[in-house]
Amino acid sequence: MTAKSYDVIIVGGGPAGISTALHLIQQNESWAERILILEKDRHPREKLCGGALVPSGEQMLSDLGLSVSVPFVRVRENRMIFQELMLSSKQDTMFLVTRRDEFDAWLSAMARERGAQIHEGEPVTSIDLGSDSVTVNTPSDQYSAKVLVGADGSKGMTRGAVGLRDRGRVARLLETLTPERESSPEFLEQFASFDFTPMTSGLQGYYWEFPSLIDGKPFMNRGVFDSRIISQRPHADLKGILAERMAAHDRSLEDYDLKGHPLRWFNPDSAFNCPNVLLVGDAAGADPMVGEGISSAIGYGKLAAEIIVEAFAASDFSFESYRDRLIKSPLGNNLLRKLMIAGIIYRDLGSDAWRKLWSEQRTVQSGGY
């Protein structure tokens, strides 16, 4: 079989992969014919995620000439809770809550409109690294490229297939959706809640409630995020914690579908690349503090596109500078800051010092989190 040749193959049609393609095409429209995106599923496909798009992500989309045109709830206030304490952060937009099946399908459609070639329903089965190129095999075809972008998420096969094995850390998440009334306070007052009280039960994270829309009807996205920053500690009972928090809101977990997924979080010591290969998005590492991944994914794509253009200009596909540039970039700085904060707040799990910090800052008006 003769491999079909492209300059860049992107494995994964989520925000990180599509962002990489969009940023390449933005630099030069001719990139549209030089890129192939391989997505194992077909849009719209289910994607477990709280769906929060923070302003930095919205701005990067705007810089691409895009405005979110799928249903969303605009959250104007974050309420961060610990037992009887609450920190409130307000601004015009704290984040947008989207449904990821709709958001990802829309973003993919925008890339198609700009000429990107996307093969949906075509999973990658194996990857072979050559001396100066990469060969990608699927059930139906074979492709080769100078550059492979692994954008296939926390559980993606690209990392292992190209030999990038490391001690990356993985957070755990459980979530469910409950139908609500339009008159629910979260919708009327446009707020979302991050409840850190379960830290006293060993959770290295929080319980969340995000107002959401499904087919135009109000739902609450409820879930538990466990960062596992301190990996030596026992695993928290996520299902038990979620059931307890939902019971406090007169909801029984047994009445709703429960879904879980891992999330690889950013660690500067991780492997992000090898010759001819870059990892982006959750495959590289998401926010370790709250697990936000959409805006990070878009940022990864922007940086990857810059580096890919430079690689072709210099005919150098070693990507030796990728890690350093990632860490020094605004994206990397933000992820490192979140890693540091996560290490601080999740280490003490509700200690007196942690409570004192909150009590001294009971009401805070800020520009984000």
Lowest mean pLDDT segment, chosen from 108-117, 253-262, 316-325: 253-262
Give the tens place of pLDDT for each residue, 93-102.
999 999 999 9
- Residue 287 confidence (pLDDT): 93
Give the tens place of pLDDT for each residue, 336-346.
999 998 888 88
Tell me the C-alpha distance between 207 and 299, whole Å: 26
Tell me the C-alpha distance between 180 and 136, whole Å: 45
- Residue 368 confidence (pLDDT): 32
Whether the per-residue pLDDT at 364 is higher than 50: the answer is no
- Residue 359 confidence (pLDDT): 57
CB 291, CB 173: distance < 8 Å? yes
Whether the per-residue pLDDT at 166 is higher than 60: the answer is yes
Bridge partner list, 170: 264
Whether the per-residue pLDDT at 11 is higher than 80: the answer is yes
Give the tens place of pLDDT for each residue, 249-300.
899 999 999 999 899 999 999 999 999 999 999 999 999 999 988 999 999 9
- Give the max Cα distance, the chain: 67
Over the range 57-69, which residues count as b (16 or more CB within 10 Å of their CB) and which as e?
bbebbeebebebe
End-to-end CA distance of the chain: 51
What is the value of pTM for the model shown?
Answer: 0.92
Residue corresponding to tokens 């969303």: 72
- Residue 348 confidence (pLDDT): 73
Structure tokens at 237: 């009972």
Residue 78 contacts by C-beta under 8 Å, 6 or more apart in sequence?
88, 89, 90, 94, 191, 192, 193, 194, 369
| CA nearest neighbour of 53 among 67, 32, 34, 39 | 67
Q: Annotate 191-220 with three-state secondary structure.
A: EEEEECHHHHHCCCEEEEEEEEEECCEEEE
Whether the per-residue pLDDT at 358 is higher than 70: the answer is no
Give the tens place of pLDDT for each residue, 202-224.
999 999 999 999 999 999 999 99
Tell me the C-alpha distance between 273 and 60, whole Å: 24
Considering the chain, what percentage of its residues have pLDDT values greater than 90? 79
Considering the chain, what percentage of its residues have pLDDT values greater than 70? 94
